[in-house]
Chains A and B, each alone.
Chain A
Amino acid sequence: MAGNTIISTRMELTRLKKKLVTAVRGHKLLKDKRDELMRQFLDLVKENKALREKVEQGIHNANKNFVLAKAVMQDEVINTALLAPKQSVSIEVSEKNVMSVNIPVFDYKTRTPDSNDIYSYGFANTSCDLDDAVKSLADIFPDMLKLAEIEKSCQLMASEIEKTRRRVNALEHVVIPETQKNIKYITMKLDENERSTQIRLMKVKEMLYKENIEKKMAE
């Protein structure tokens, strides 16, 4: 504890008082930040949960279709069919600031604007199950990207909330009480010093007074 060696001076007192004001203000601000972050986080995480369930269901269906396709087609045919993709996706990342947490916003662009341009093969040698499989995956893809965005935001916000909560607690339970204690200690000490100086002065005055009277009596 830093409280073991407190210098009881007026300067230290002023310093501590300033520190207390800053700490109280910081505590209030951080608490507000934590509450707001928490509110947004809970909204986001609920969305995250719903979206994840949807995406997992979608991928499950797509996988089922792929298994079907694989059952009726040879491995080599599937591999050649999907070897050279027609479509390519690139994403643009921008940032959004939510209570000082930078969360990513993804914006995706496909090479060809036509959303039906996902079949990279001729339809002659492939089964229609493969078409279904690719289509079901393509349908779920925008949701997958949204899920990536939301889940990453949730992770980043969660770690920020954890940090902020620690700071709030440290200020509330350690820094502020300690500073208040030290301020009280110094105030008492200074008052005590003042009283003892007062008494000393009174004593000295009394002694001088007595001396004066004795001198006068002697004359």
Chain B
Amino acid sequence: MYNIAVMGDRDSIYGYAALGLNIFPVSDEVEGRKVLKKLAEGNCAVIYITEALAKILEEEIDKLKERPLPAVILIPGISGNTGQGIRTVKKSVEQAVGSDIIFNN
């Protein structure tokens, strides 16, 4: 049995609590790193993380990409969509194909 976690600033994520997801409101880098590490070691299969926070924790998230679990998925926060999420998809296309052939239009 695995859990689902949501990380980000409080205003962006408090709604997910109603769905029964575990929310972890963090805003600064040090705490975010600590929480992310703990979640990755624990039994968390999916970690949703706001784009704003993901930008700060990019290094840690890249490390988790190679592992089968957990899946770290970016979601837009309350301040709007920064396009970071779609950029990660773009990045994996570039990694696999060598150049971006899906998003160039």
User: Which residues of A pack against B, CB within 8 Å?
Assistant: 38, 41-42, 45-46, 48-49, 52-53, 55-56, 59-60, 62-63, 66-67, 78-79, 82, 85-93, 95, 102, 104, 106, 108, 110-111, 118-120, 133-134, 137-138, 141, 144-145, 147-149, 151-152, 154-159, 161-162, 165
Contact = CB atoms under 8 A, between A and B. Distances in A.
Contacts of B66: 156, 159
A87 B4 CA distance: 13
B26 interface: no
B75 A119 contact: no
Interface of B: 1-4, 12, 14-21, 45-46, 48, 65-66, 68-69, 71, 73, 75-78, 80-81, 85-86, 88-89, 92-93, 95-98, 102-103
Given A48-B89, A162-B95, A151 B81 contact: no
B71 A151 contact: yes
A87 B19 contact: yes
Given A52-B86, A59-B75, A148-B48, 10 more contacts: A46-B102, A78-B14, A87-B19, A89-B20, A91-B46, A92-B1, A93-B2, A93-B69, A155-B65, A161-B95
